[in-house]
Structure 1
Amino acid sequence: MQLLPRNHVVLLRDGAAFFPALLTAIASARHSVWLETYIFTQDETGQTVANALQAAAARGVQVNLLLDGFGSGGLSDAFQRSLLEAGVRLLFFRPEIGLWPFQRQRLRRLHRKLALIDGRIGFVGGINIINDKSSPATPPRFDYAVQVTGPVCMDIAKTMSQQWRRTSRIQWKHDWIMPPVRLPRQPETGEQAAALVVRNNGRHRRDIENAYLTAMENAQREIIIANAYFLPGVRFRRALVAAAERGVSVTLLLQGRLDHALLQFACRGYFHQLVKAGVRIVEYRRGLMHAKVAVIDHQWSTVGSSNIDPFSILVAREANLVIRHVGFAKTLRQDLLKEIRESGVEVSVDMLRKRWWGYRVLPWLAYQMVRALMGMAGYGQDAYRE
């Protein structure tokens, strides 16, 4: 991981900040729009983004839209046709065409959320193209993204163009295969050092996990991690415990409401071990949480798509931006502390002891099921072996 200097990174909290920024960037596009996402829906938010992409294509902008075949598999034929007829180049990563649910490759999803406009305005984060409020009365899904300009956009362009070429070739869209992107050197627009860190099944299998581990192992003061689906492997748990034992303040902000029950119950099997070691665990209860961010020692931050679970760490294609900057870390840290204070419930040893026996058994059963699923698919034997 090489941190590139002189970027300008803006934190975007929830869809209320992300979608206006993305739509404004698309409206300003002059020659290219690249967009990758796991979930693209046909709700009001999805239709608004689709309209913006179609408008860009109509004025001659090349629009490349890459969606995951499972996460966005529910898009209707009519919706897809409207995009294609408007000139949007639409591809699906690993379309869901098989009937056997336990195929190894079925778990290899495109889970990252990236956008790049004119090669100069990038977006990295965890926010899908979906309305982040299930109803007007509910709070928005707690999530983050960043908007970035500067030299790191060259790495975003390289990553997105490589995936596009590979997917186009596999699906025989040879007229959509473009030569590797060669952008001119990006202007130095700010003072933040940043690096795009990706996870794939090639040379970058462990890059995101290793970025976290390196930062935690070097932490001297504080670790704050907010992650919606948290089921860390042995190395990650040991790094958290070791940090707490050497006096580092370690706080985990995790999903409190059941969303993906299997992963969340499996995660709770580690609560007693971590809390007893001095790790503070806070469950987010105000609404649904989708964040995948961290702040370490008031200067190292990451915002991205990667959960800390076996599917994100070992299988899916993910992308996080790592930022080293005191000012950015301060902004993210303050927002996390506010949510911890106002929307969180801390998990204590007494609370864990008082929970009914079934709640203590369910995490063990869920963890065994996750291990079995990963084993059937051929993943995770080492990372999740005690």
Structure 2
Amino acid sequence: MPRLDIGRLRSWTVVPAPRFIGGNRVELLQGGDELFPRMRQAIAAAQREVWLATYIFHDDPAATTLAVALKEAAGRGVAVHVVVDGFGSIKTLAGVRALFADSGVQLEVFRPLDRWYAWLQPGQLRRLHQKLCVCDEQVAFVGGINLIDDRHDMNHGWTDTPRLDYAVQLQGPLATQVHATTRAMWARAHLLRDWREEVKTVARSARPVKEALSKVRQLRGVQPLAPAAALGDPEGPMRAAFLVRDNLRQRRVIERSYVEAIRQARHSVDLAVPYFYPGRSFRRALRHAARRGVVVRLLLQGKVDYRIAALAARALYDELRSHGVRIFEYTPAFLHAKVAVVDEQWATVGSSNIDPLSLLLNLEANVVVRDREFAATLRQRLQQAFDLSVEVSGVPARTGWRRWLHRGAVAWAANLYLRVAGITGRY
């Protein structure tokens, strides 16, 4: 791989600030069965560049077909950059490296765990959890779907029923922001791997402290968007925003977007998420919405993949149900969707769970759409899932001191994890 200019790489690491922009086309896709053919089509049509970021890049047949499409694009001269998370893809990384060997695909690993002491390094609990792909800065894909077959779970093996998950295909001005963010993730992974050159640059500088601080800002900074006129009509049809959660300036951007939408809800809130352990402000927004007559429905896991995560969610059932929040558990298959619809006019699809990992630690990306037609489509899909789910009802499973012990233990474990990760303050 030819060596890239360090200055150019640093300019790639900045992430756009969120902003609603009109003139987009946003299409809902359900599962890899709908997403992967669209991605292959876009990659095959790419003429200049393809950028892809994912938490899991598996080596099963479904993911391999995407790898082949990326290799073919690189073979015809398209610049193909892929970044995967070092933890999410740890079991398949060797296979992915082999797939891309000598192909021209430029693969990077975000926070790799290839040495025993890697876990001792600061920030290793902060993972790349985004699922992004953008081709020629024209067509982009954002959502919660990893590059793995819908019927394959890395811990539970193969199943007959595909997991429930969603993504969107974007065309229009918002694709530019997805491009900048995906490129930033790849550049950050590359620069962190190639840190020796950065250290040399700082050491040779006449003002090393200032230079070091400048590089930190460049690695974590936010680049202002271009004027609205350059990005399309901000009041035009299909207004949408691309939200990126990082660990500096946009730490709570996704959480705040959810909370604000719930606070403004008048009729309904439908939220589907596999891992649910929100903080105080999020729970308060749900309770208050239900108390003022809004129909609040949560779709959570019924078929559990991680028991600890399920215990955390269930520790909150009684609190929320006592205020009128309805809770459903999805049982036909694993639930992996991270989506919500409010009043059939606000909708979000993305990678962010509603738990401390996603809201305070991981790098996440969601698309928020203010469009009645899109929101109605997503709500219709969610209604089908609600119809297949079991509503939680009856008396609490735990009462008295057992109930409070369960909840206290979960809260203690969550806060301990956050302290280990370097997060302080209340959640």
TM-score by length of structure 1 reads 0.90
Question: Aligned match of 2:74 in 44, 49, 57?
Answer: 57
How far 1:330 sits from its partner (Å)? 0.3
Matched, 1:172 2:216: no
SS of match in other structure, 1:6: coil
Cα distance in 1 for residues equivalent to 2:348 and 2:121: 32
How far 1:276 sits from its partner (Å)? 0.5
How far 1:185 sits from its partner (Å)? 5.3
Cα distance in 2 for residues equivalent to 1:136 and 1:205: 35
Cα distance in 2 for residues equivalent to 1:339 and 1:79: 33
- Structure 2 counterpart of 1:156, one-letter code: V
Superposed CA offset, 1:34-56 (max 9, x none):
10000001111121111111000
- Structure 1 counterpart of 2:176, one-letter code: M
- Structure 2 counterpart of 1:6, one-letter code: G
- Structure 1 counterpart of 2:287, one-letter code: V
Question: Aligned match of 1:335 in 381, 397, 418?
Answer: 381
SS of match in other structure, 1:105: coil
Question: Aligned match of 1:145 in 145, 160, 167?
Answer: 167
Residue in structure 2 matched with residue 207 of structure 1 by the alignment: 253
Matched, 1:368 2:386: no
Question: Aligned match of 1:198 in 244, 249, 261?
Answer: 244
How far 1:375 sits from its partner (Å)? 2.1
Taking a change above 3 Å as real, the CA distance of residues 125 and 261 of structure 1, as seen in their structure-2 partners, is same
Cα distance in 1 for residues equivalent to 2:170 and 2:239: 11
How far 1:353 sits from its partner (Å)? 4.3
Residue in structure 2 matched with residue 294 of structure 1 by the alignment: 340
Cα distance in 2 for residues equivalent to 1:362 and 1:276: 17
Residue in structure 1 matched with residue 100 of structure 2 by the alignment: 83
SS of match in other structure, 2:19: coil
Matched, 1:133 2:178: no
Residue in structure 1 matched with residue 390 of structure 2 by the alignment: 345
What does 1:96-245 align with in structure 2 at a 5 Å threshold?
Answer: 96=113, 97-99=115-117, 101=119, 104-134=122-152, 138-172=160-194, 191-245=237-291
How far 1:270 sits from its partner (Å)? 0.8
Aligned residues: 374
Cα distance in 1 for residues equivalent to 2:151 and 2:99: 26
- Structure 1 counterpart of 2:175, one-letter code: C
Taking a change above 3 Å as real, the CA distance of residues 77 and 133 of structure 1, as seen in their structure-2 partners, is closer
Residue in structure 2 matched with residue 249 of structure 1 by the alignment: 295
Taking a change above 3 Å as real, the CA distance of residues 76 and 152 of structure 1, as seen in their structure-2 partners, is closer
SS of match in other structure, 1:129: coil
2:59 touches 2:95 (CA, 8 Å); kept in 1? no
How far 1:60 sits from its partner (Å)? 0.4
1:15 touches 1:127 (CA, 8 Å); kept in 2? yes
Question: Aligned match of 2:85 in 68, 76, 85?
Answer: 68
How far 1:259 sits from its partner (Å)? 1.1
Residue in structure 1 matched with residue 200 of structure 2 by the alignment: none
Cα distance in 2 for residues equivalent to 1:163 and 1:376: 24
2:276 touches 2:354 (CA, 8 Å); kept in 1? yes
Taking a change above 3 Å as real, the CA distance of residues 236 and 126 of structure 1, as seen in their structure-2 partners, is same
Between stretches 285-294 and 260-269, larger displacement belongs to: 260-269
Superposed CA offset, 1:234-277 (max 9, x none):
01000100111111111100011221111210111110010010
Residue in structure 2 matched with residue 33 of structure 1 by the alignment: 50
Cα distance in 1 for residues equivalent to 2:99 and 2:290: 53
Cα distance in 2 for residues equivalent to 1:237 and 1:148: 31
SS of match in other structure, 1:5: coil
Residue in structure 1 matched with residue 422 of structure 2 by the alignment: 378
TM-score by length of structure 2 reads 0.82
SS of match in other structure, 1:332: helix
How far 1:21 sits from its partner (Å)? 0.7
Cα distance in 2 for residues equivalent to 1:239 and 1:127: 27
SS of match in other structure, 2:124: helix
- Structure 2 counterpart of 1:80, one-letter code: R
Taking a change above 3 Å as real, the CA distance of residues 355 and 57 of structure 1, as seen in their structure-2 partners, is farther
The share of aligned pairs that are identical, in percent, is 41
Residue in structure 1 matched with residue 206 of structure 2 by the alignment: none
Q: CA RMSD in A?
A: 2.5
SS of match in other structure, 1:368: helix
Cα distance in 1 for residues equivalent to 2:63 and 2:327: 34
How far 1:363 sits from its partner (Å)? 5.2
1:121 touches 1:153 (CA, 8 Å); kept in 2? yes
Between stretches 314-323 and 65-74, larger displacement belongs to: 65-74
Residue in structure 2 matched with residue 326 of structure 1 by the alignment: 372
Superposed CA offset, 1:6-28 (max 9, x none):
10000001111011111111111
Cα distance in 2 for residues equivalent to 1:143 and 1:296: 18
SS of match in other structure, 1:4: coil
- Structure 1 counterpart of 2:179, one-letter code: A
